[in-house]
Chains A and B, each alone.
Chain A
């Protein structure tokens, strides 16, 4: 799993150095790029397993780099940017970013996101059972267990948690979840989503008020951990 190659595209030397040291000490191979153009060339030459992309690049916007890369590059791209508005985050995720982390960031959090992203893109043949903490989701028999006890879920509740679990560790936007589960994508329908998330938390979380599995990304979406 490790020894995966990661390309960092960031114009700030301090961030490049920090990422190089952090990633290399976690056994990843690291390639660095300072500009968007250089980054795109390096992706073409190296086909890294994962790209960490800054949005504020000197030569062209990271959003553009992301779009260019997504024409042919299908592995993980994690955005690491100071831009923290919901609009920017949603735009990047809609344009194919695997995940989004804002600066300042905790390196522990970044490493967790990298592991999750690599897992999603590397294991294309999905494991039928996803286990995390006290939860176990069996995709082949559509069964969810908490502390080894089966939990009764409605069809929609199951579909929602299964979709989140298949993308474990990765943020899924409201729009995406609404489209996949209910077949519509209007922003105004996020109230459905909230009601179902609240119901799921009551059934699946030890403490529904401080969820540890279904995490809210405020204004953006949800993440299954």
Chain B
């Protein structure tokens, strides 16, 4: 693939290879002319021209085609080593050869061009579709909280006397929830654009896994709908070298996803394992899991399961996967033995020898 690309980029190389291969094949045929006869030579040269036409630009192919016709005439048609043609049959053959070789060159390149254009069009259609999905889900996700804020404030300002104390505090609450939701979506979008522009630079440092997991649990508490998040802290774990902000975001997005798409009161369990080179987090819930056929797509950008509840842009898991990859890691998903979703996050990370640092 790489060499093909190089050939494509350098026109000079195309002329060289085109002319060279015709000369080379002619030379080989010339050695065996007595065995194979000059008709076979014509077919062999045509084959070379056809192959060149599949890969090269039109001009080098046409030049190779014309050259091959002339060489065939000069070296192989009787009388040899002249451009003369003695019989009408040979004259006809030469003419046919010339036309077929050039047509071959021209048509093959045209077909290739048409193919490339249709491929480009399909790609563009796909991009447009992706952007439409993006705009639809984004405008919904951003406008809903904005509507809640503006609407609540209007009511608070204009019907202040008519509102009960409870209703007032509920509207204030709505404004707060909407603000948090907007903040989260904007953070997601910023993270996504960081990933897209390849501007993630890992800030590696030594971290305590228990602390990271507890931060994640604390930060998700406000969104819990009587969900229980379970984690058994492990004593005497070593420290690990990773980017805590990114690792926290990975865990946060997966846990947040579980809270959003499992029924009220579901259990979410976080487990931690490690090898000498990797941290492994397992996040499982007791919801209804993912349909097998859509399993692989959950990490796709803007992908949301069919019929999933409103709220969410389809960015969270895709960002989590991107951040895991930034650590040379990977997130895998499957349905656990209880039918709920189970995410396994593997992050490459060095660890300390904890014995070295116990007290002075």
Residues of A within 8 A of B (CB): 86-87, 104, 154-156, 174, 187, 190-192, 194-195, 198-199, 209-210, 216, 218-219
Contacts and interface: CB of A to CB of B under 8 A. Distances in A.
A190 B241 CA distance: 10
Interface of B: 179, 183, 203, 205-208, 210-211, 214-215, 218, 233, 239, 244-245, 248, 352, 354, 357-360
B151 to A, nearest CB: 19
Chain A: interface secondary structure? helix
A219 B203 contact: yes
Contact of B357 (A87, A154, A191): A191
Given A86-B203, A104-B179, A104-B183, A218 B352 contact: no
Contacts of A154: 359-360
B50 to A, nearest CB: 58
B259 to A, nearest CB: 19
Nearest to A155: B360
A219 B244 contact: yes
Contact of A191 (B211, B248, B352): B352
B118 to A, nearest CB: 44
Contacts of B233: 209
A181 to B, nearest CB: 11
Nearest to A195: B357
Given A156-B360, A209-B214, A219-B244, A194 B183 contact: no
Given A86-B245, A209-B210, A219 B357 contact: no
Contacts of B208: 194, 198
B90 to A, nearest CB: 79
Given A86-B245, A104-B183, A194 B358 contact: no
A188 to B, nearest CB: 8
5 contacts: A190-B205, A195-B354, A209-B233, A216-B211, A219-B205
B360 A218 contact: no
Specify which of A155, A156, A191, A216 lies most central, judged by the most chain B CB atoms within 10 Å of its CB.
A191
B245 A218 contact: yes
A155 B360 CA distance: 9
Given A209-B214, A210-B218, A218-B215, A194 B206 contact: yes
Nearest to A90: B203
Nearest to A197: B208
A174 B203 CA distance: 14
Contacts of B244: 218-219
A199 B360 CA distance: 12
Closest 4 CB pairs of A and B: A191-B206, A195-B357, A209-B214, A191-B239
A187 B183 CA distance: 31
Contacts of A192: 357
A192 B210 CA distance: 17
Contacts of A194: 206-208, 239
Given A192-B357, A218-B245, 13 more contacts: A86-B245, A104-B183, A154-B360, A156-B360, A174-B205, A187-B205, A190-B206, A191-B352, A194-B207, A195-B354, A209-B214, A218-B244, A219-B245
A56 to B, nearest CB: 15
Contacts of A195: 239, 354, 357-358
